[in-house]
Structure 1
């Protein structure tokens, strides 16, 4: 049951300061399974209180202060302050007529915006539709645009940067009240994590939170603009654009259903809810701290700036964000926060990764770490990140080394080092588990006996799978040590079907020319860390190599059938060469058994030649037996596979495809004698295929010129050459 009547209780709290509400929570214990809300005015503004009773008569009371109200586009919005981050939000989705009184309150659903688009009428749930994309990001239609991935035409704003820059406070496509913005992914992620809005019963938690998020559904661009998944899904846009691996224009959004909250990418033409956030925290100018959530595994809560800093870093060299430089034992964190332990710092380093851009990555992370350096060396300021932890632990992060490490010079005890505090409940304590992470490595190489050690042949790759016993961070391709091979594409690939942060794959290409060695992959100990900063045990996997190249057996075949373009003038199409014609014989201008004999101005003609379909070949060379030749004779050759796909192999105007052997000029009298012209394909073309048909373009374009072709032979290999 949901009771939204305010008169029964609001008088009791009339003009009561918000700090006094804790005195009354014990009065709200009722032996009912019930959720209700009420509001009261105070000297500071208004209070919305959400009271939830579970089946065991336990209560959860949440008092959310509404500082003020604003009138925007005909709607009166309340302003609510996050009890976790201190940020100010609107109390409802844009376009909603009231704050949600249940997760299925239709009056609280609000409008559905296409990403980056201004308020022009399209956002109405009942707006008309059109399939015509706009050629500008400044839309002028009130129609919801359907059918395409994006509501603007291709090339207008593919990466989304233009719309991201104008979908903010004060710009052309601004849809929020003055001083408010569409939130970033980090804005939403911080609130969701700190409020505990996660599985199970995620939708219920989203509604019960201070944000009162309803299941407003979304508008589907692919089904003509129909509204789907009301009651079962909340979908809110962020301000972050993205582009899929296939080049589809997308943006990040928060998806909440009953099984979880996720941040996914979706096409920008979909319609979703928007909840606006105040552009900057109220306390930015006062130096008060906010909380931020960092990392992909632990979701640790840290201060948003270094201890003593007057603001969160706006750049990696923002001196106002450097904070105070503390000697050993001199730093004191705010209430409920503490100096990070050695394990906290280890996990932080692992989360940041490695590489030449690690300092930049640290700034662009949720923690916005500035390169404050340390007090006794000005050269480090603006280039290196130092952080002091509990005890005498000091971390150094710089791009020169491309990683983070513990600083070993004990002189830092009397040196001033910046401090970033972590929430006590997030910190990894000394009582945390010390059990190491196990790692199992498998591979997909053929196993001669069905199990055991595999063996890999020439020109083959092998894929290794790394399974950690629990979620880990810090595992990168640089942790993979490989002998007698190299890593293909230079990356490890996370496997989405497995639990997050537990499984990766890597493909390796073995060293060729080996018959008694093994390809060995090793992951050293402590390459990855679990949530308690415990490292993995060392693990390795080997695959036997038999990469000696096989002796290539050259196969020669004459065509068994042939066809020519219609009207080509071919007098006779046979598969074998005329036994009465041999290279060196006098040229025969109108040989009756030639495959092709140009007539008059017939010009270039395609011949399609068929060989043994049961034994297609990787083609090494093509021999054209010409009965008469007035020019180059063959301009292009293509291979045709069993699926009918045609692949270019030779082009007389493109040296990258093949090399014409000297055979075409071996006979100095190639214009007056029967001649075998050999076209040898280069190594690139020889690896294409295999083919059982070829197509050759023969003849000349000059008036009166023509070529006669008696037969065409191919030579090649059954197996793909190395």
Structure 2
């Protein structure tokens, strides 16, 4: 990515109509070892409308201080989002697969940043019960209930516990077809931003390595271009969040009608593989572009 954006300080005024000078500064930019420091065109950062080249997706914050020849103004800031999406209060960048050329979000749904390590708590994101929308249940601190939902689209904000077979969070849609369709929506009404959806298990497998020979599956998952964290999970039987920094499940939209389970990719210390698990469990989601 190589994007040029124009900043503007033309609304700055001085009551004495003094000549103003401008001082633009870059306050923060995305953290990426492959990126260069953004530079103002012709290295000019002291004009009213400078341009600057940005080489990667993410959030950039600039400040402007204006001087009337005597005193500086209070600095103002502007935030620029480049190549990223905003969805339900979070921002997301994108990454392109070196294996399939598909476009993915650069972090889990609900994560505040791209992972810096497999146990980076700020990139864990939310834990969704399979097929549920972002209704509040996915948050770490959400309340729990044992009352099963009778409508998969009108549920409430509580995480639903179920210790009885088939350990689902709803009494309807036993096959999973309705919820699988919900998670495949690309209109932004489900868990993913507009134009994105929850991937199938095959799409996840094509981007990861299915292997039982890993020395440390957590590290392999983090080293993947998707930078998966070991976010742990939330147990469908107890509602307890656990094993954060130890392993992770990444939900897919693929379901198995015969067993009332759904598929996820599982990362542990010595393995990475596809598995089908109970739908009441709360796990991570990574969205793919449709």
Any runs of at least 4 consecutive aligned residues in structure 1 with deviations exceeding 3 A, and if so which? 5-15, 41-47, 170-173
Residue 270 (structure 1) aligns with: 281
Kept after mapping to 1: 8 A contact 2:184/2:197: yes
Deviations 1:317-347 (A, max 9, x none): xxxxxxxxxxxxxxxxxxxxxxxxxxxxxxx
Consecutive unaligned residues of structure 2, counting only runs of 5 or more, are 1-28, 40-51, 59-80
Q: Structure 1 11/256 Cα, relative in aligned 2: closer, same or farther at 3 Å? A: closer
- Paired with 1:211 and 1:233, the residues of 2 have a C-alpha distance of 16
Residue 452 (structure 1) aligns with: none
Kept after mapping to 1: 8 A contact 2:209/2:272: no
- Paired with 1:134 and 1:8, the residues of 2 have a C-alpha distance of 43
Residue 150 (structure 1) aligns with: 168
Kept after mapping to 1: 8 A contact 2:186/2:193: no
Q: CA deviation at 1:70?
A: 1.1
What is the aligned residue count? Answer: 225
Q: CA deviation at 1:272?
A: 0.3
Kept after mapping to 1: 8 A contact 2:221/2:229: yes
Kept after mapping to 1: 8 A contact 2:212/2:273: no
- Paired with 1:212 and 1:182, the residues of 2 have a C-alpha distance of 17
- Paired with 1:171 and 1:12, the residues of 2 have a C-alpha distance of 35
Q: Aligned match of 1:234 in 226, 248, 252?
A: 248
Residue 259 (structure 1) aligns with: 270
Counterparts of 1:442-481 in structure 2 under 5 Å?
none
Q: Structure 1 252/44 Cα, relative in aligned 2: closer, same or farther at 3 Å? A: same
Counterparts of 1:469-548 in structure 2 under 5 Å?
none
Residue 175 (structure 1) aligns with: 191
- Paired with 1:7 and 1:217, the residues of 2 have a C-alpha distance of 25
Deviations 1:105-132 (A, max 9, x none): 1111110000001111101011000000
Deviations 1:226-270 (A, max 9, x none): 0121111011100001145xxx42101110011111111111110
Q: Structure 1 12/94 Cα, relative in aligned 2: closer, same or farther at 3 Å? A: closer
Q: CA deviation at 1:187?
A: 0.8
Q: Structure 1 211/197 Cα, relative in aligned 2: closer, same or farther at 3 Å? A: farther
**What secondary structure does 1:193 align onto?**
coil
Residue 117 (structure 1) aligns with: 132
Residue 128 (structure 1) aligns with: 143
Counterparts of 1:267-416 in structure 2 under 5 Å?
267-279=278-290
RMSD: 2.9
- Paired with 1:219 and 1:136, the residues of 2 have a C-alpha distance of 22
TM-score of the pair, normalised by structure 2:
0.70
TM-score of the pair, normalised by structure 1:
0.29
**What secondary structure does 1:45 align onto?**
coil
Residue 74 (structure 2) aligns with: none
**What secondary structure does 1:255 align onto?**
strand
Greater Cα radius of gyration, structure 1 or 2: 1
Deviations 1:584-623 (A, max 9, x none): xxxxxxxxxxxxxxxxxxxxxxxxxxxxxxxxxxxxxxxx
| 1:139 aligns to 2:150 (yes or no) | no
- Tell me which of the two structures has the higher relative contact order, counting C-alpha pairs closer than 8 angstroms and 6 or more residues apart: 2
Kept after mapping to 1: 8 A contact 2:215/2:269: yes
Q: Aligned match of 1:249 in 225, 249, 260?
A: 260
- Paired with 2:127 and 2:170, the residues of 1 have a C-alpha distance of 17
Q: Structure 1 173/152 Cα, relative in aligned 2: closer, same or farther at 3 Å? A: farther
Q: CA deviation at 1:139?
A: 2.9
**What secondary structure does 1:84 align onto?**
coil
Residue 229 (structure 2) aligns with: 214
**What secondary structure does 2:91 align onto?**
strand
Q: Structure 1 12/69 Cα, relative in aligned 2: closer, same or farther at 3 Å? A: closer
Q: CA deviation at 1:9?
A: 7.2
Q: Structure 1 90/197 Cα, relative in aligned 2: closer, same or farther at 3 Å? A: farther
Residue 159 (structure 1) aligns with: 175
Q: Structure 1 119/203 Cα, relative in aligned 2: closer, same or farther at 3 Å? A: same
- Paired with 1:177 and 1:76, the residues of 2 have a C-alpha distance of 10
**What secondary structure does 1:157 align onto?**
coil
Residue 440 (structure 1) aligns with: none
Residue 225 (structure 1) aligns with: 239
Q: Structure 1 6/120 Cα, relative in aligned 2: closer, same or farther at 3 Å? A: closer
Residue 93 (structure 1) aligns with: 108
**What secondary structure does 2:250 align onto?**
strand
Q: CA deviation at 1:197?
A: 10
Q: CA deviation at 1:170?
A: 4.0
Residue 76 (structure 1) aligns with: 91
Q: CA deviation at 1:85?
A: 1.1
Q: CA deviation at 1:14?
A: 3.8
